[in-house]
Structure 1
Amino acid sequence: MKINQLRHFVAAAEELHLARAADKLDIPLAMMNSSIAAIEAEIGQPVFVRTGEGTKLTKIGTVLLEDARADIAAAPAPVKKATNGGGKAKASKGKGRAPAVKGEPKPFKKRQGR
C-alpha cells in the first residue's frame, strides 16, 4: 500500500465519512473512493461497512488503522511541490529567432540603427 492511500484511509476512519475526509484532505471524493477500493482490493476484504446509519470500521479496518498510523508516523514528511506562479505561456513574436537583446546588434546587420 502507498503512504497516500494510508493517509486517505486514516482520515476516512477518523471522520467515518468519506466526503468529509476528502474535504479535510482537500482531495476529490473520487480519489478517496479509489484509494479505499485499492486498499480493500489488496487486503481482499472490506475495511468499512456502509449502512444507512453511517460508515463503520470492520475488525480488519481497526487493525489496519493502528498499522497505518504507525506506518505514516515512520514515513518521511511529504515534500511540497514548488510552484513557479503558473499562468499562460506566451508565444514568442518574431521570425523564429531569439529576441534581440537590448544594446546588442541584430543578427545579420553590421550596424544597429538609432
Structure 2
Amino acid sequence: MEITQLRQFVAVASEGHLGRAATALGVSRATLRSSLDAVEAAVGTSLVTRTADVVELTADGERFLVTARDEIAADDAAKTPAKPNTGGKAKASKGKGRAPKVKGQPLPYKKRQSR
C-alpha cells in the first residue's frame, strides 16, 4: 500500500464524506473509492461503512487510522531535509586588496586615468 493511499484514507476518515474529501485532495470520487478498496484489501478487513457519499469508520478503521497517521508522520519526517551546518569560522577573501571600480571614476590603483 502506498503513502498516497494512506493520505487519502485519512482524508476520507477526517471528512466523513467522499465528495468533500475528493474536493480537498483534488481527485475524483472514483479515485478515492478505489483507493479505499485497495487499503481494505491490503489490511484484509473492512475499515469503513459507506452509505451514498457518507463514510463512517468501523472499529478496525479507528485502530488503523492511528497507524496510518503515524506512518504519514514518519514519511513526512523522513522527507524533511536536515538543517545545513551554518557554523564555522568566517574566511577572509583572497582578493587583491583593491577597491572596486566605479563608473566615471579613475581606477583606484592608478594615479591618473589614461585617455
Q: TM-score under structure 1 normalisation?
A: 0.62
Could you say what the CA RMSD is over the residues aligned between the two structures, in angstroms? 2.0
State the one-letter code of the partner of 2:58: T
Counterpart of 2:16 in structure 1 is 16
Counterpart of 1:106 in structure 2 is none
Identity value in percent:
44
Counterpart of 2:72 in structure 1 is 72
In 2: Cα distance, 1:29 partner to 1:44 partner: 22
Matches within 5 A, 1:1-114: 1-51=1-51, 54-76=54-76, 77=79
State the aligned residue count. 78
Q: Deviations over 1:16-49 (max 9, x none)?
A: 1111101100111111111100011112221111
The list of structure 1 runs, each at least 4 consecutive aligned residues, that deviate by more than 4 angstroms after superposition, is: none
Q: Give the gaps of 5 or more residues in structure 2.
A: 81-115
Higher Cα Rg, which structure: 2
- Secondary structure of the corresponding residue to residue 75 of structure 1: helix
The change in CA–CA distance for 1:52 and 1:32 in structure 2 (over 3 A counts) is: closer
The change in CA–CA distance for 1:25 and 1:52 in structure 2 (over 3 A counts) is: closer
Q: Deviations over 1:61-87 (max 9, x none)?
A: 001100010100110459xxxxxxxxx
State the one-letter code of the partner of 1:74: A
Q: Give the gaps of 5 or more residues in structure 1.
A: 79-114
